Amino acid sequence: MEDVPRRPINKQQDIAVNLKVSALMDGDGHWDHNILSHLFPENEMQRILKTQVGNAVDRELWAFSKNGAYTVKSGYELASKVKETMALQDASTQPEALELKRSIWKVPTVPKICNFLWRATSGALAVAERLNTRGMHLDSRCKLCLKDGESIEHVLFKCDVAQEAWAIAGFQPLSNFNSMSLVELMSAYLRMMSSDSIPERQRRSIPWILWAIWKNRNLILYADTQESLIFHIQQAIEEARLWNEVNLRQEPVDNLGLNGEKKRWEAPLFGVVKCNLHSNWRNDKLHCGVAYIIGDHQGNVLHHARGDAITSSPNRLTSELRCLIWTLRSMKDLGYTETMIGSDFKDVGEAIQELCLMFQSVVFETESILSNQIAREIARSVLRDGRFNSYLALGGPSWIHQRILREASSNCP
């Protein structure tokens, strides 16, 4: 058995995303062999049959106490935790936070630091404030300065040690520093990277300085070692200089289109999926074919779908937006939370906002027609081949399997 539960592989092309376990049982509470054999291949069916169905009578239990009984104390702790978690989640899903998280993946630095910055902005670093929302009941004070609560913005910006690190690197505190939130502080410092008023070497080192502050804190707390803070910051600045000298070269013009779009498909970062979509709009009188294809950081196709031919749209933008809405809703049903959207129609990324709040992270990327060709081909098959029935399937379509493999192999080492 896997360490992490997963959905069984379906035998059928269509997937019932809302299928419940009870639908797989007969009236006596046993597994229904006929339903299982109809929905799943033999190996998956045998795995399901090995799962024992309990005979105990169903009853309600309180999951937040050891004996399953509700207590006022456990209820209060849960309510407090939920309130705090919701406040943090609301902060991370505001338009400013979403825009910041989108821009982080374009920060010129090494991938591990991009990932660190995204986790920090998403509230996913192991500081006392965040751990206490998980029920750990830690001392909330900062372990370095023993003053304010240990939040992410405190550790990276407001702690005495962090302020000393920024001073060593040559940065002055912002005017309204103490009243700024994590998103505001992170946005302000990342904007400094494009400020001509700051020396280039200094401003380009900002991501490495943030990483050095975090590493220094962890070394003190968990490794019981404390090297000079000056050494850590100087090392961060030097690493930034070396990386920038090697990597910040102008991308060959051959790889870019007229509007700066990529000419070949590029995989997303680890932990993020990329969804290429296309609406095959012809004119304002004909139906439109729509399709999407989802790939991971290695170029593997996870799902693809071709939708019902949608009714006529007055223009391509309307058609693409309808396709995007259908795609995002489908991805939400499939359980994806971090996704990059690839489209060869630039305007579509600027015209959608509300659905983006359903995901932890959504990044829009303008594709060229060439790099978006797989999604375009699936969408074209709706009208070309008269395929007006929608479906959802694991992996990519078999009839363009070789093209998918070639695209993946040309993009991934």
Does residue 396 or residue 2 have the better pLDDT?
A: 396
Task: Return the number of other C-beta atoms located less than 10 Å from residue 232's C-beta.
Answer: 20
- Are residues 132 and 40 part of one domain? no
- Cα–Cα dist 370/405, whole Å: 15
Task: Return the number of other C-beta atoms located less than 10 Å from residue 382's C-beta.
Answer: 24
- Looking at residue 255, its pLDDT comes to 47
- Cα–Cα dist 277/373, whole Å: 10
Q: Identify the bridge partners of residue 392 per DSSP, sorted by sequence position.
A: 305
Angle, vertex CA 171, rays to CA 170 and CA 177, nearest 5:
160
- Are residues 278 and 241 part of one domain? no
- Cα–Cα dist 140/156, whole Å: 16
- Are residues 290 and 220 part of one domain? no
For residue 262, is it within any domain?
A: no
For residue 231, is it within any domain?
A: yes
- Cα–Cα dist 52/45, whole Å: 13
* 153 SS3 class: helix
Structural domains counted in the chain:
3
- Are residues 115 and 232 part of one domain? yes
For residue 27, is it within any domain?
A: yes
- Are residues 98 and 243 part of one domain? yes
CATH number for the domain harbouring residue 321? 3.30.420.10
Residue range 110-160, pLDDT digits in tens: 988 998 998 898 888 889 888 887 767 788 899 899 888 899 999 999 999
- Are residues 219 and 179 part of one domain? yes
Task: Return the number of other C-beta atoms located less than 10 Å from residue 56's C-beta.
Answer: 5
The answer to whether 111 and 66 are in contact (CB under 8 A) is no
For residue 329, is it within any domain?
A: yes
Q: pLDDT-based confidence at 258, cuts 50/70/90?
A: very low
* 50 SS3 class: coil
CA distances from 8 to 5, 47, 50, 177, 392 (A): 9, 9, 13, 51, 15
Residue range 216-247, pLDDT digits in tens: 998 888 876 677 889 999 999 999 998 988 87
- Are residues 306 and 161 part of one domain? no
- Cα–Cα dist 110/114, whole Å: 7
On average, the pLDDT of the chain sits at 81
Query: Which range of residues forms the domain containing residue 197?
Result: 94-247
- Cα–Cα dist 314/123, whole Å: 42
- Looking at residue 7, its pLDDT comes to 65
- Are residues 214 and 158 part of one domain? yes
- Are residues 404 and 298 part of one domain? yes
- Are residues 394 and 314 part of one domain? yes
- Are residues 243 and 105 part of one domain? yes
Place of tokens 């490495």: 208
The answer to whether 360 and 337 are in contact (CB under 8 A) is yes
Residue range 66-114, pLDDT digits in tens: 888 888 888 887 777 776 666 555 555 567 777 888 888 889 999 889 9
Which residue, 247, 282, 310, sits at the end of a domain? 247
